[in-house]
Amino acid sequence: MKLTQEEKNKLISAKDESQWYKIIEDIKSVRNNLYPNDLAREILAIYHNKFPVNNYPVYEDSKQSKIDRKSFLTTLSVAWVAFAAATGGFLTVLIRFLFPNVLFEPPQSFKIGFPEDFEPGKVDLRFKKEYNVWIVRDDEKITALSTVCTHLGCTPNWQETERKFKCPCHGSGFRATGINFEGPAPRPLERFKIALANDGQIMVDKTKMFKYEKGEWNREESFLKV
């Protein structure tokens, strides 16, 4: 099952990621589409050398935002010290009381609209950016899927034509249901609690998660029957 030297050479000389994935498909097809862990590990090692994770925009973005946040916090701290010194600290305490940090965190429970706002067969991307959630409706139910890849935590993208979530970091693929079917991700995406609120709107609660591999997708709160 190991890579042949020729396959390794092909992977090493792949011009870009789309060519990389085509080569992987060829490698799988000559093995009856089997993709065992030792083969995935071998491929992953070459991938890491060729496409270092730090080069990905998603990582760059988060790295940059961490740097920005750090320098922002440093600047803010200096400003606070100067301000507190000038005012005897009174206003600092007052402002911290009026604007506690929690105000800047996105809420863990939130309403996303009514069931009829979600089309059957569609993956709704509207809540990805703010809440890291995809809302998926099929003919029977609505689910709230976590956008965190179960391999190493990158954020996959929904590809409508291929009807799959594809992770840009190491190529894991997940069906619209959240089930993993390609690449190194070891398990399906996670679901968040979803239920109807008193006003008939759908409420998502990210404090409660449901894992497929533990049989938790059968639980009532892991999906909303429609």
Q: Which of residues 161-190 bind ligand FES (CB under 6 A)?
A: 167, 169-172, 183-185
- How far apart are the C-alpha atoms of 222 and 195, rounded to whole Å? 8
Q: Which is nearer to ligand FES, 144 or 149 (CB)?
A: 149
Min. distance of Cβ 37 from ligand FES in angstroms? 14
Min CB(21)–ligand FES separation in Å: 12
Give the residue with the Cβ less far from ligand FES, 135 or 167. 167
Which of these segments, 62-70, 105-113, 132-140, 150-158, binds ligand FES (CB under 6 A)? 150-158
- Whether the Cβ atoms of residue 3 and residue 27 lie closer than 8 Å to each other: yes
Question: CA 191 to CA 203: how far, in whole Å?
Answer: 13
- Looking at the Cβ atoms of 106 and 153, the one nearer to ligand FES is 153
Identify which of 221, 218, 214 has the alpha carbon closest to the alpha carbon of residue 195: 221
Please say whether the beta carbons of 189 and 136 come within 8 A: no
Inter-CA distances, 8 with 28, 29, 40, 199, 206, Å: 13, 16, 13, 58, 42
Q: Which of residues 73-132 bind ligand FES (CB under 6 A)?
A: none
Residue 149 within binding range of ligand FES, rule CB under 6 A: yes
Among 10, 14, 137, 151, binds ligand FES (CB under 6 A): 151
| CB of 58 or CB of 203, closer to ligand FES | 58
Which of 13, 21, 6, 38 minimizes the C-alpha distance to 169?
21
Q: Is 224 in the site for ligand FES (CB under 6 A)?
A: no
Which lies closer to ligand FES via its Cβ, residue 183 or residue 193? 183
Number of residues that bind ligand FES (CB under 6 A): 13
Report the residue number, 137 or 190, with the smaller CB distance to ligand FES.
Answer: 190
Q: Which of 11, 14, 154, 189 binds ligand FES (CB under 6 A)?
A: 154
- On whether the CB atoms of residues 114 and 203 are closer than 8 A, the answer is no
Question: Out of 78, 94, 152, 179, which residue is the one contacting ligand FES (CB under 6 A)?
Answer: 152
Range 13-19 contact pairs with CB under 8 angstroms and sequence separation of 24 or more? 14/50, 17/51, 17/168
Give the rounded distance of the alpha carbon of 176 from its chain centre: 14
The least distance separating ligand FES from the CB of residue 226, rounded to whole angstroms, comes to: 30
Sign of the C-alpha dihedral, residues 17, 174, 35, 40?
Answer: positive
At 26 the three-state DSSP class reads helix
| Residue ranges binding ligand FES (CB under 6 A) | 149, 151-154, 167, 169-172, 183-185
